[in-house]
Homo-oligomer: A and B are copies of this chain.
Amino acid sequence: MAVAARRKFRREGEERRRQDLIEATLDCVAENGLQGATVRAIALRAGVTAGLIRHYFPGKEELLQAAYATTMGRMTELAKTALATVEEGPRQRLAAFVAASLVPPVIDVRTFSIWASFIGRAGSDPALGMAHRAGYLGFRDEVEALVAEVLADAGRQASAGELRRHAIAINAIIDGLWVEGCLAGDMFANGELAEIGIGSVEAMLGLRLRQGDVS
């Protein structure tokens, strides 16, 4: 009688397994929302059995939190990278920042699905709400600092209130274009969203960000 053969397995490093589980979780969420992120579906995707999840996380809830924190971290990291790679003047840096936020890999359905799935519960889940707020404010402060540099570079002076308003508005247009780009990327030509984003920021600040660009 063939005794049911036990499944072969390999022991992976702790950090590696954690990461795999988180990635599998994000895949599940992206495809079928939080509903689709069941321990069994996650385990299947990670190539392990369901029980293992509880060896690395106290429970499913903690795994989801870790997964959300991971995506948040990735998004802000991408934005900061875009900032760090441009060494030219403030205007080019702001333009690069806006543009980077409006092309892949920041524009991405998968990321958007995950973001929406989690953020939908930010209203009722205080922890999620705080996490979003922190991320948003961090992003906005970045924008505000950038705007301040740009205006200073142009020899203009802005009050704290003006700076704040500019940061809010610029942040909003990036967010709005990001959402649309993620949801209906095929409706826009390559680079069109970045173009519109930069153009809008220029209009709002009343100065050009791209030097050689005559249009």
Interface residues of A (CB under 8 A from B): 30-35, 109-110, 112-117, 119-124, 129, 132-133, 136, 165, 168-169, 171-177, 179-180, 182-184, 187-188, 193, 196-197, 199-200, 203-204, 206
Contact = CB atoms under 8 A, between A and B. Distances in A.
A36 to B, nearest CB: 9
A169 B173 contact: yes
Number of identical protomers: 2
A183 B132 contact: yes
Contacts of A179: 172, 175-176, 179
Contacts of A165: 196, 199
A183 B35 contact: no
A35 B34 contact: yes
A113 B117 contact: no
B175 A171 contact: no
B32 A121 contact: yes
26 contacts: A31-B124, A33-B34, A34-B35, A110-B123, A113-B121, A113-B124, A116-B116, A116-B120, A122-B183, A123-B182, A123-B183, A132-B184, A165-B199, A168-B188, A168-B193, A168-B196, A169-B197, A171-B180, A172-B172, A173-B176, A173-B200, A175-B175, A175-B179, A176-B179, A200-B200, A204-B204
Given A31-B124, A113-B120, A179-B179, 14 more contacts: A33-B34, A35-B35, A110-B123, A116-B119, A117-B117, A123-B182, A168-B177, A169-B200, A172-B172, A172-B173, A172-B177, A173-B176, A173-B200, A175-B176
A60 to B, nearest CB: 12
Interface of A is mostly: helix
Nearest to A113: B123
Contacts of A183: 119, 122-123, 129, 132-133, 136
Contacts of A109: 123
